[in-house]
Structure 1
Amino acid sequence: MKRMIKIFLVAAMLPAGDLFAQELYVSTEPASNMPRGGLGIRLMNEGMFGSEIRTRTGLELMTGVTKNLMVHASAYLSDYYRKQQRLEAVSFYAKYRFLSADRVQRHTRSAVFGRYTSSKNLMVNDDISLEGDNTGIQGGLIVTQLLHKLALSASASYTRMLDVNDTHHALHGYPSESIGYTFSSGYLVFPRVYKDYKQTNMNLYLEFLGKSNPGKNQHLMDVAPAVQFIFGSKVRVDASRQLQLWNNMRRTVKNKYLVRVEYNLYNIF
């Protein structure tokens, strides 16, 4: 009992708001939030290798407005749709946590989220994405469950394109809306026992990312294994490989890599 209390108190001292390390998913967002008054800075690079190399770089800022509300702002640069790199899109994301149920070393969180993206890219495939590719809005629900060292999370979302060119879409049969669904698991490998927040964390993730286009009978499912290191509760390094399991959509990028570095500042507002 004393050991359980000690672990709980040390975890409570970690400057990570209501987030535990194994909830910091690489390909999705958890229902938990970063602490109020904090600032996170992310630099991401993703891409694919094949007959040609295509890459996308993203810069993202995020902050906790209240203990239940956090917001993100992102900018994307890529050569996915042009032969040269260009600034292609900006995106804004907000998440509101409406449910928290806590017990020692376990909790349940639920949140709703929304995203708006403005992109220079025209629709050229069936895979609608608001992470740099298309202009549109998105809304959804996330539920996250922490069970000691294991964190599980699921989400469902609806995405609607806003720059639909009726003639262009009709000619090529492109969709204007999609349904997204994800399931993520994260496991804390190291440290085995928390002693202080300066300890290095190592987490392993396995995430499933699916989409369907209503009325089109188009579906895809990817799996994304990932490894993550957190240093001093401030610096986070992610590496992921997203692999296609099945798909009958036209898409720009598949079987891509992702690397990301994040730096967090606390209590600055």
Structure 2
Amino acid sequence: MRKILFLLILLGFQKSFSQELFVLTDPASNVPANSLAINAMQLLFKEKFESGYNYHIMPEVTYGLNKSLMFRATAFVSNRNASLVTEGGSVFAKYRFFSSDDLNSHFRLAAFGRYSFNNSDIHQDQIEIMGHNSGYETGIVATKLIKKVAISSSLSFEKAFDNTSKNPFPNSLGDNATNYTLSFGKLMYPKKYTSYKQTNINLMIEFVGQTINENGKSYLDVVPAIQFIINSQARIDLAYRQELASSMLRTAPNGVYLNLYYTFFNVTK
């Protein structure tokens, strides 16, 4: 009986959330309550004004306290100085404050916040507290699931600080921005569930943009991705980020993402 109940729970989790696990953005849904997820996010981006690539690895741990609240801690490691160096980290929290569930669809709203610290040099107009800037971000995200299609959108405010006293934020740059995202995901396989061990294949596309509030400089990127979910616990994401339009200085706007993600359910009794 316990095995049957566990299978039903996992199948329900698969059907409801598999196509909501976006590569770049968090949906309004959280990781399951009392679960621990680990992820090795890796980025390889082409330098725009010089030869070569820069590589970032961002190991992170996410914990679902309950169905409404989750927490995440992330470390930032980069090779921008010719060797892998830990440059900082961040803490993140998301609170789901509204849910409307139907048989084949649901709608959810959540508020989120992130605080980051970073000791690297500040070298571009774009504000990015996930790996480049010290600062904070706060915002709201809405997600709609209709059968096998998920649509998610977020709006946030981001503020940058000095990257320690050795790397102060330049007076010539705007230190706060409005971020906006729009993401689409679709479950492509399987067509019908028979076991929680079935591999899920999701296709998705995300649009990610930012406007510097002080000077109006902005960018818009597109991020197509493919995602594999194995045994309802392991996840592999592969995505490519391409700049569509930009009026700001960005040193490495285009590149590849690889996520290696694993979830441990019921980590505490």
The TM-score, its normalising length taken from structure 1, stands at 0.91
* Contact 2:14 2:232 (8 Å CA) reproduced: no
Q: SS in structure 1 opposite 2:170? A: helix
**Cα distance, 1:10 vs structure 2:** 7.3
Match of 1:259 in 2: 258
Q: SS in structure 2 opposite 1:20? A: helix
State the one-letter code of the partner of 1:33. N
Match of 1:48 in 2: 45
Match of 2:192 in 1: 193
Match of 2:170 in 1: 169
Provide Cα deviations, 1:120-170, integer angstroms capped at 9, x if missing partner: 123221100011101001100000000101000000000011327898622
**Cα distance, 1:45 vs structure 2:** 1.1
Between the aligned partners of 1:22 and 1:246, the Cα distance in structure 2 is: 27
The range that moved more, 106-115 or 193-202, is 193-202
Q: SS in structure 2 opposite 1:21? A: helix
The range that moved more, 203-212 or 43-52, is 43-52
Between the aligned partners of 1:204 and 1:156, the Cα distance in structure 2 is: 23
**Cα distance, 1:186 vs structure 2:** 0.1
Match of 1:58 in 2: 58
Please list, as runs of the form range in 1=range in 2, the aligned pairs for 1:211-250 lying within 5 A after superposition: 211-250=210-249
Between the aligned partners of 2:143 and 2:249, the Cα distance in structure 1 is: 31
Match of 1:6 in 2: none
Match of 2:3 in 1: none
Gaps of 5+ in 2: 1-5
Aligned length: 258
Between the aligned partners of 2:14 and 2:70, the Cα distance in structure 1 is: 11
Give identity over the alignment, percent.
34
Gaps of 5+ in 1: 1-8
The range that moved more, 248-257 or 200-209, is 248-257
Q: SS in structure 1 opposite 2:111? A: strand
Please list, as runs of the form range in 1=range in 2, the aligned pairs for 1:67-146 lying within 5 A after superposition: 67-80=67-80, 82-146=81-145
The alpha-carbon distance between structure 1 residues 72 and 16, as it changes in their structure 2 partners (threshold 3 A), is farther
Between the aligned partners of 2:14 and 2:36, the Cα distance in structure 1 is: 12
**Cα distance, 1:54 vs structure 2:** 1.1
Match of 2:156 in 1: 157
Provide Cα deviations, 1:42-89, integer angstroms capped at 9, x if missing partner: 012111246212100110000101110000000011023x23220011
* Contact 2:45 2:254 (8 Å CA) reproduced: yes
The alpha-carbon distance between structure 1 residues 192 and 11, as it changes in their structure 2 partners (threshold 3 A), is farther
* Contact 1:35 1:67 (8 Å CA) reproduced: yes
Match of 1:3 in 2: none
* Contact 1:47 1:253 (8 Å CA) reproduced: no
State the one-letter code of the partner of 1:32. S
Q: SS in structure 1 opposite 2:116? A: strand
**Cα distance, 1:16 vs structure 2:** 3.7
* Contact 1:184 1:205 (8 Å CA) reproduced: yes
Q: SS in structure 1 opposite 2:132? A: coil
Q: SS in structure 2 opposite 1:83? A: coil
**Cα distance, 1:17 vs structure 2:** 8.7
The range that moved more, 155-164 or 242-251, is 155-164
Q: Is 1:26–2:27 an aligned residue pair? A: no
Q: RMSD of the alignment, in Å? A: 2.0
The alpha-carbon distance between structure 1 residues 259 and 153, as it changes in their structure 2 partners (threshold 3 A), is same
Between the aligned partners of 1:175 and 1:17, the Cα distance in structure 2 is: 42
Q: SS in structure 1 opposite 2:232? A: coil
The TM-score, its normalising length taken from structure 2, stands at 0.91
